[in-house]
Amino acid sequence: MVTASDALKRLHKGNWRFVNGKNDIARSIGEARRAELVDGQKPFAVILACSDSRVPVELIFDQGLGELFVIRVAGNIVAPSQIGSIEYAAARLGVRLVVVLGHSNCGAVEAALQALTDKQEIASPHLRSIVDTIRPALEPLIGEPENVTLRKAVRANILQSVEQLQHGSQLLEQLIASGDLTIVGAKYSIESGEVKFLDD
């Protein structure tokens, strides 16, 4: 079983390879690797990421088949289905690290920010549910004297999702309390390709 600390190191190293053009993903996407995974999976980390097409999780961490348990949803928001998926990965698959991965120029966060600052109405109830989930992370920023930037809003949304995962599930809370699970936030730069972990 891969510890949270070792999983973080693997993600750091993989992102370094991606940023520096030294990707090695071909080693773990071929026929032999597929055959190894037929009877089960042992991912070393869960990544709750945004659905944005510019954030291909396995590629930016230079990981292949069976290495990451990836959940993607617009705005990397937390909802019951995401919590259940993470509970499954932690309790059944033994994953010890969860990363909430936001990114620069996030359209979902920008939509939520516009809805708050410009009082824009969102017609679709489904899209509104995403915006409404992000909204509480942004509301404290609106009262700040300086202009609220998308960069600050993205960070606040990541931290809100981390907090919701840390305190939104009895099972996850127990695993965290026993030292068997670590949940961290990170931000991917679309511009540079670099992932910065918010605890670094």
Residue range 88-115, pLDDT digits in tens: 999 999 999 999 999 999 999 999 988 8
The mean-pLDDT minimum among 25-39, 40-54, 69-83 falls in 25-39
pLDDT score at 184: 98
Q: What percent of the chain has pLDDT over 70?
A: 98
Q: How confident is the model at residue 146 (pLDDT cuts 50, 70, 90)?
A: low
pLDDT for residue 13 is more than 90: yes
**2-8 long-range contacts, CB within 8 A, separation 24+:** 2/44, 2/45, 2/96, 2/97, 3/96, 4/96, 4/97, 4/181, 4/182, 6/44, 7/44, 7/45, 7/95, 7/96, 7/97, 8/97, 8/184, 8/197
Residue range 158-185, pLDDT digits in tens: 999 999 999 999 999 999 999 999 999 9
Q: What are phi and psi of 170, to 5 degrees?
A: -60, -40
CA distance 8 to 112: 30
Residue range 118-142, pLDDT digits in tens: 777 777 899 889 999 999 999 988 8
pLDDT score at 42: 95
With beta carbons less than 8 A apart as the criterion, state whether 35 and 56 touch.
no
With beta carbons less than 8 A apart as the criterion, state whether 17 and 23 touch.
yes
Q: What stretches of the chain adopt beta strand conformation (E)?
A: 45-49, 68-72, 97-103, 182-188, 195-197
Q: How confident is the model at residue 16 (pLDDT cuts 50, 70, 90)?
A: very high
